[in-house]
Structure 1
Amino acid sequence: MAIIEMKNLWKEYGDQVVLERLNATVQEGEFVTIVGASGCGKTTFLKMLLGTEEPTRGEMLLDGRPLTPEPDDSRGVVFQRYSVLSHLTALDNVMLGGELQSSRWLGISFGKQRRKLRKEALAMLESVGLDQAADKYPHELSGGMQQRLALAQALIKKPRILLLDEPFGALDPGIRADMHKLVLSLWKEQKLTVFMITHDINEGFYLGTRLWVFDKPRLDPQAPGAYGARVTYDLPVGDCQTGTLTSINESVDNTSRAIDRF
């Protein structure tokens, strides 16, 4: 069953074309990894999926209906920079979404509702390996632990779609490998559909069931903003061969150099 459909999707800012002619269908449960040169529109695309940016032209559909133009519980997001709140404990960070839903102005729940939220948050912390750190503040946690906490925040509302914007870029290789295992485990257990941006093509191959390359197939030196990026490769990971990896690397490198010139 298709969960996301893009039909001739464009994103422009004035005369600057960021993305153009995106057409793709993503089935529920797929893990889509996204690579491409810096500045080619990957994060803009993720923001359109989240609902904080709207397409300029075309359609983005969720279950066959237009995507709501604002974030909701169907989508969770984790950024490269830790999105946790420094003045709250790990447990309070995970409870916050439910607290705000109970009382938008006070941001706190009471009685039975609070006990329910606390129980759910503790279970989520356990699922990401932070059950022993529930009462710690973010500054007391390592980078990998803070990113686990960000995952718990994103998943506590049980989203169907998880959006990851280079979530492991700041982590050292050992912690990064642990996070790979955790994300794959959560993806399978919670039956998520995942879109993940990464600058590491090998990471994209390892984690994804499908790999997209965002690239600018058209470049005009006189008008660098005239054309946008498109999905130039859309590959089932199992079909990726060494030659394809070389072509992707060359494509990304060429686009990166072209962007850097302007």
Structure 2
Amino acid sequence: MSGIEIRNLWKEYGDQVVLQNVDLTIAPRAFIALVGPSGCGKTTFLRMLLGQETPTRGTITLDGAPLPHEPDPDRGVVFQRYSVFPHMTVLGNVMAGPELRASRFLGRTFGARRRAIADEARAMLAEVGLAGSEDKYPAQLSGGMQQRLALAQALMMKPKVLLLDEPFGALDPGIRSDIHRLMKRLWNEVPMTVVMVTHDLKEAFTLATRIIAFERTRDRPEERLRYGATITKDILIWPPRSAGKTTIWDADLLPGRDDPTIPGPIAGTTWPKEEPDADAYPPLR
């Protein structure tokens, strides 16, 4: 499981309060989108979930146990700037984490263990659409392909929690749409909880099961140091999304059809799921 509990969380840097009195329960397999204006502490909150920052006050627990104060394999992260090793091939990047975990001193495995890790890495690359690029270097990949590589690198460690810090903001709209579809599929197939920082509300409503808004409720110039941001809105997406399950909007779509504006069965009917004959619908007038 991968449930997260945040209780009475505060973060201060010297005299400046960044976050105050944050209480949040994140269910296992949830997809949480963190939104809010720049400077309201979203990335700081994500860094505390990762273990790069320590709360000034309050607690964070993962599956009932205190969150370790340093990053570990249970938490994967993908940043907006791709966190891949430029001197390694695509395959080498995805194998790096499991090899370091298996051989902490050498950072490299041999024989049957190395072949097993390589086979698993190739399968993961195929999952994210990078089959055939195993021997390329990151500089030879497009932006979208580098983002897929960063996702594969994080998922290869099988994290309980995947943290995303505006990972799709620099992508072109078409590539971004492809990555969104990939992210939906991976979230449905891989048992993990996802927490994503984004400034794009459309992206948040497209991917998330729940949207958490951070905001400074007291933001006058004389208040900005002593009052931090907190959760001001907690929005559950409707219809509810559950990992691995179909929503009511998807239930009546024909196989292979993802555009509900195309003439076809009306949602809520008992039309058969197979594609009907061309004469099944009257011509549009």
Matches within 5 A, 1:176-187: 176-187=176-187
TM-score by length of 1: 0.89
Indicate if the aligned counterparts of 1:31 and 1:208 stay in contact, CA closer than 8 A. yes
Matches within 5 A, 1:10-159: 10-159=10-159
Give the partner amino acid of 1:126: A
Q: Distance in 2 between matches of 1:103 and 1:129?
A: 28
Q: Distance in 2 between matches of 1:19 and 1:120?
A: 40
Percent identity between the aligned chains?
Answer: 59
Indicate if the aligned counterparts of 2:3 and 2:27 stay in contact, CA closer than 8 A. yes
Indicate if the aligned counterparts of 1:31 and 1:194 stay in contact, CA closer than 8 A. yes
Compute the displacement of 1:99 (Å): 1.7
Q: Which residue of 2 aligns with 1:168?
A: 168
Q: Distance in 2 between matches of 1:12 and 1:32?
A: 24
- The structure whose Rg is larger is 2
Indicate if the aligned counterparts of 2:2 and 2:192 stay in contact, CA closer than 8 A. no
Q: Distance in 2 between matches of 1:44 and 1:218?
A: 19
**Could you say what the CA RMSD is over the residues aligned between the two structures, in angstroms?**
1.4
From the two aligned structures, give the one with the greater helix fraction: 1
Compute the displacement of 1:52 (Å): 1.0
Q: Distance in 2 between matches of 1:223 and 1:211?
A: 26
1:228 equivalent in alignment to 2:212: no
Q: Which residue of 1 aligns with 2:197?
A: 197
The list of structure 1 runs, each at least 4 consecutive aligned residues, that deviate by more than 6 angstroms after superposition, is none
Compute the displacement of 1:2 (Å): 7.1
Compute the displacement of 1:80 (Å): 0.3
Aligned residues between the structures: 240
Show CA shifts across 1:106-164 (max 9, x none): 32111111111101111110110101111110011000000000000000011111100
Give the partner amino acid of 1:136: K
Give the partner amino acid of 2:170: A
- Structure 1 unaligned spans of 5+: 241-262
TM-score by length of 2: 0.82
Matches within 5 A, 1:229-244: 229-238=229-238
Give the secondary structure class of the aligned counterpart of 1:171.
coil
Give the secondary structure class of the aligned counterpart of 1:133.
coil
Indicate if the aligned counterparts of 1:2 and 1:25 stay in contact, CA closer than 8 A. no
Show CA shifts across 1:214-252 (max 9, x none): 100112422421111111111102179xxxxxxxxxxxx
Indicate if the aligned counterparts of 2:2 and 2:193 stay in contact, CA closer than 8 A. no
Q: Which residue of 2 aligns with 1:216?
A: 216
Compute the displacement of 1:105 (Å): 3.7
Give the partner amino acid of 1:33: A
Q: Distance in 2 between matches of 1:175 and 1:226?
A: 41
Q: Which residue of 2 aligns with 1:255?
A: none
Give the secondary structure class of the aligned counterpart of 1:7.
strand
Compute the displacement of 1:75 (Å): 0.9
